[in-house]
A and B are shown apart, each in its own frame.
Chain A
Amino acid sequence: QVQLQESGPGLVKPSGTLSLTCAVSGGSISSSNWWSWVRQPPGKGLEWIGEIYHSGSTNYNPSLKSRVTISVDKSKNQFSLKLSSVTAADTAVYYCARDSGITMISFFDIWGQGTMVTVSS
């Protein structure tokens, strides 16, 4: 059974870069799935950040596109998120999730446990 595990610093300074990694276990990142990042500010709803395919193709939320980079490392079976120029508004729980892989019927069937990232000096 595929499992996802996020890792990375829990505290990032304002104007810095948030960096997280999602390790995929129990399956291959080279399967016919896209791999996404989703975040949730404290007490608020879910926001999709972006996704990557094992080929390296990416799609990003237009509202974050200028600051987001998602990459994949097939040798380590993991993918990563970088969010630059962070502010307090980027404080959130960050989840990685597996997309169904069905074109234009995107849904997330497996989620990591989430990792809290706080932006503060």
Chain B
Amino acid sequence: SYELTQPLSVSVALGQTARITCGGNNIGSKNVHWYQQKPGQAPVLVIYRDSNRPSGIPERFSGSNSGNTATLTISRAQAGDEADYYCQVWDSSPVFGGGTKLTVL
């Protein structure tokens, strides 16, 4: 089965740029989606098909995907961006990464 690898945690200073990676074999050939999940809440889609933002998601959120790594980039990080972030692809069925906890310092 296809595996997605995410760092357990990422820290970023307030106002700086955070990058969260999602590794997988030739993931660049797949469509990658990203979800934000705050404590006690349901996940929210923040990026779909590598780099597209759903309506209502700030432009500070962007995504890229190439080779064996997909990246979620959060510019001008805010305290409200603190959350768990999950990547997801489709490989015969939906597959999620293990999640990354983003801390804004």
Interfacial residues, chain A to chain B (CB-CB below 8 A): 36, 45-48, 59, 61-62, 95, 100, 104-109, 111-114
Contacts and interface: CB of A to CB of B under 8 A. Distances in A.
B43 interface: yes
Contacts of B96: 45-48
Q: How large is the interface on B (under 10, 10 to 19, 20 to 34, 35 or more residues)?
A: 20 to 34
Interface of B: 1, 31, 33, 35, 41-45, 48-49, 54, 86, 88, 90, 93-99
> SS class of chain A's interface: helix, strand, loop or mixed?
loop
Contacts of A113: 41-42
Contacts of A95: 42-43
Given A107-B94, A108-B94, 14 more contacts: A45-B86, A45-B96, A45-B97, A45-B99, A46-B43, A48-B96, A59-B93, A61-B93, A95-B42, A107-B48, A108-B45, A109-B45, A111-B44, A114-B42
